[in-house]
């Protein structure tokens, strides 16, 4: 009997784009209602086989935009022997797993999808590829490794997708991408997806794409008179009080799930300790963690066992986490693009979201730069006072009590209230009960201190603008600002008794600007030894100065962690420092040294 039921609106919407009935049925089962803008623009073009460059932000539905037409084209012809005809390159392991899972759900068994990534058994991945795969979703590093081993055959690839291309370049995969692209047949379709379109992205598109059709999805803007979907706030607070301010703001907001972004892994670990002591269930995520630890953290966060995910930018790249109610910039991002990436993790799928940024008074000018890029006013607020906090807690208590009253079933405690009401006013009885409840959970607020509010010159004086030559074009974490546990910066004596052994704050902060050939631009180097190995700042300064032959004054900030260290050097000297240090030892031992991926 023929099914004459009218197809659902979602089936009609995707079918109008050229998607097959089989894939539309899968989308209906997954609950898709209508295509997103990037899907409406991209799917019909992808189905024609044209090369594409797609500029779209994270969370706009890019995976379905390339996965659906790729699956449909693969189903159109089936070779006698299963070969890899579709390849998707992504920046991180997490995103590889998510994309592979999505492709599998869309296809509903129509093709075999194999994800390959670092941090997992390469032997198992080789065996999976030997059994055959229609689509391979891979990180560039592992794809190149398998390609060189002869386990990944790209000779039959018809469609290649570069997802989050800007992130892959930022993570240092440029050379890997070039080698992989050279190994794929020239007669192929290539689709490049990126949240930003930098000159490097343009260069890759020019070299490897053939007359690509350009799709640009404008960022969502609020209609006149409507509140933006993502509420954006900034709180001005001194660094010494940032952790306390974060706790205060979180208490006021009562968020469901939060990602807090920090600049360095040391700062992540430090903040997790402080927030956990305040009663929040916080979890750390940064590049210094093993993959097994990262998987465990993400499992806890997704299941609701952790309220806050405190992380670095690099560690969260490629993560697709649903229903994030709040994003907090513990430090102002180094660029407006990074800010957009971060806040794009909240306010998805029509849900409201909140983006909160903690800034120093000196960073207000940089906040204005971000406002110009996002074309939206960021409301600068005062840190909630103790009175605000107490009022908020009482509001929450009032709401909880009201909800409990509506539930009923209070007959077992009525005798207590009735006996006390015979002696005291019933309102006083209720007030005493609320006070005891607050005290029992440490929320009476009597021991909460006020947070000093720094003065902000919101207009930015002309005198400061004239001194812009001495200010950093982007924010770069200073050692004394980012790690309260780090040892003080030391510089070995060089026969200059008239100079202080330890430079003052201004000297340290200005060292990067005074360095020579790099024009003030600094990069961080990762050194695989820290306090546990007895490493002190003076050891790093002495070793680099002696082995690389550069002046100690050219070095920037130094962070000493328990098992690793970070040191800033002029960008144009970084490679020579790495080469020289790899040939030498640090405190008598060979240590790993490389450019820090989170710098």
Query: Per residue in 243-252, pLDDT tens?
Result: 888 988 888 8
Average pLDDT over residues 542-565: 78
For residue 442, is pLDDT > 70?
no
The per-residue pLDDT for 163 is: 92
Most confident of 36-40, 210-214, 370-374, 393-397: 210-214
7-11, 115-119, 551-555, 565-569: least confident range: 7-11
For residue 464, is pLDDT > 60?
no
For residue 444, is pLDDT > 50?
no
For residue 513, is pLDDT > 80?
no
In percent, the amount of the chain with pLDDT more than 90 equals 21
3-state secondary structure of 370: helix
Q: Report CA-CA distances (Å) from 75 to 23, 66, 85, 472, 561.
A: 11, 14, 11, 53, 52
| SS3 track for 495-506 | CCCCCCCCCCHH
125-134, 150-159, 315-324, 427-436: least confident range: 315-324
**Domain boundaries for CATH 3.30.70.330 within the chain:** 476-595
Summary count for the chain: helices (H), strands (E):
24, 18
Residues whose CB falls within 8 Å of the CB of residue 189, separated by 6 or more in sequence, listed in order: 46, 49, 50, 51, 158, 159, 160
Residues whose CB falls within 8 Å of the CB of residue 579, separated by 6 or more in sequence, listed in order: none
The per-residue pLDDT for 49 is: 93
For residue 276, is pLDDT > 50?
yes
The per-residue pLDDT for 67 is: 93
d(CA 409, CA 298) in angstroms, rounded, equals 39
Q: What is the pLDDT of residues 562-597, one digit of tens each?
A: 788 888 888 888 888 888 888 777 877 888 888 886
Residue for token pair 């579709």: 86
The per-residue pLDDT for 210 is: 93
Q: What is the pLDDT of residues 58-89, one digit of tens each?
A: 667 888 999 999 999 998 887 778 899 999 99
For residue 475, is pLDDT > 50?
no
Tokens of 24: 């539309």
123-127, 226-230, 463-467: least confident range: 463-467
pTM over 0.75: no
Q: What's the chain's length in residues?
A: 599
| SS3 track for 470-489 | HCCCCCCCCHHHHCCCCCCC
In 3D space, the residue among 441, 512, 228 whose CA is nearest the CA of residue 352 turns out to be 228
> Is the backbone of residue 210 left (phi > 0), alpha (psi -120 to 50) or beta?
beta
Average pLDDT over residues 232-250: 87
CATH domain 9-216 topology: Rossmann fold (3.40.50)
**Domain boundaries for CATH 3.40.50.300 within the chain:** 9-216, 230-385
The per-residue pLDDT for 162 is: 95
CATH domain 476-595 topology: Alpha-Beta Plaits (3.30.70)
In percent, the amount of the chain with pLDDT more than 70 equals 79
Average pLDDT over residues 264-292: 83
CATH homologous superfamily for the domain 230-385: P-loop containing nucleotide triphosphate hydrolases (3.40.50.300)
Average pLDDT over residues 142-154: 93
């Amino acid at each position: 009997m023929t099914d004459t039921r009218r197809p659902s609106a979602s089936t009609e919407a995707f079918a109008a784009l050229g998607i097959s009935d089989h894939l539309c049925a899968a989308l209906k089962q997954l609950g898709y209602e209508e295509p997103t803008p990037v899907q409406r623009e991209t799917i019909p073009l992808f189905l024609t086989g044209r090369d594409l460059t797609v500029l779209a932000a994270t969370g706009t539905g890019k995976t379905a935009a390339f996965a659906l037409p790729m699956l449909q084209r693969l189903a159109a012809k089936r070779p006698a022997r299963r070969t890899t005809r579709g390849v998707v390159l992504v920046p991180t392991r997490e995103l590889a797993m998510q994309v592979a899972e999505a492709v599998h759900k869309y296809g509903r068994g129509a093709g075999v999808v194999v994800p390959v990534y670092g941090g997992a058994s390469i032997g198992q991945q080789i065996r999976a590829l030997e059994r055959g795969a229609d689509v391979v979703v891979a990180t560039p590093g592992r794809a190149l490794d398998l390609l060189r081993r002869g386990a990944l055959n790209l000779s039959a690839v018809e469609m290649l997708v570069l997802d989050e291309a800007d992130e892959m370049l930022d993570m240092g995969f440029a050379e890997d991408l070039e080698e992989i692209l050279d190994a794929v047949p020239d007669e192929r379709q290539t689709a490049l997806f990126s949240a930003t379109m930098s000159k490097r992205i343009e260069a890759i598109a020019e070299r490897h794409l053939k007359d690509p059709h350009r799709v640009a999805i404008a960022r969502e803007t609020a209609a006149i008179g409507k509140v933006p979907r993502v509420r954006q706030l900034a709180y001005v607070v001194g660094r010494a009080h940032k952790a306390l301010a974060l706790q205060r703001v979180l208490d006021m907001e009562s968020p469901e799930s939060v990602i807090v972004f920090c600049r360095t892994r040391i700062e992540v670990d430090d903040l997790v300790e402080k927030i956990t002591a305040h009663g929040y269930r916080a979890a750390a995520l940064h590049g210094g963690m093993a993959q097994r630890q990262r998987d465990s953290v993400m499992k806890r966060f997704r299941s609701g066992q952790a309220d806050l995910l405190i992380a670095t930018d690099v560690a969260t790249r490629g993560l697709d986490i649903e229903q994030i109610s709040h994003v907090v910039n513990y430090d102002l991002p180094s660029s407006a693009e990074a800010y957009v990436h971060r806040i794009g993790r909240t306010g998805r799928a029509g849900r409201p979201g909140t983006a909160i940024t903690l800034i120093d008074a000196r960073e207000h000018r940089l906040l204005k730069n971000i406002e110009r890029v996002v074309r939206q006013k960021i409301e600068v607020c005062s840190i909630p006072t103790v009175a605000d906090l107490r009022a908020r807690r009482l509001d929450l208590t009032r709401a909880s009590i009201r909800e409990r009253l509506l539930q009923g079933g209070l007959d077992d405690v009525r005798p207590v209230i009735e006996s006390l009401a015979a002696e005291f006013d019933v309102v006083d009885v209720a007030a005493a009960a609320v006070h005891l409840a607050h005290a029992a959970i440490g929320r009476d607020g009597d021991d909460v201190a006020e947070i000093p509010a720094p003065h902000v010159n919101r207009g930015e004086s002309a005198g400061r603008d004239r001194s812009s030559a001495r200010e950093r074009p982007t924010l770069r974490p200073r050692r004394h600002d980012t790690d309260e546990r780090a040892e003080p910066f030391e510089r070995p004596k060089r026969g200059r008794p008239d100079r202080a052994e330890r430079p003052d704050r201004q000297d340290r902060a200005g060292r990067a600007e005074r360095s020579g050939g790099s024009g003030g631009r600094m990069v961080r180097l990762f050194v695989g030894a820290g306090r546990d190995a007895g490493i002190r700042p003076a050891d790093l300064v002495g070793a680099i100065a002696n082995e690389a032959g550069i002046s100690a004054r050219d070095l920037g900030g130094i962070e000493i962690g328990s098992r690793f260290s970070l040191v800033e050097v002029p960008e144009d000297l970084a490679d020579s420092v790495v080469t020289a240090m790899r040939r030498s030892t640090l405190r008598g031992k060979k240590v790993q040294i490389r450019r820090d991926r989170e710098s």
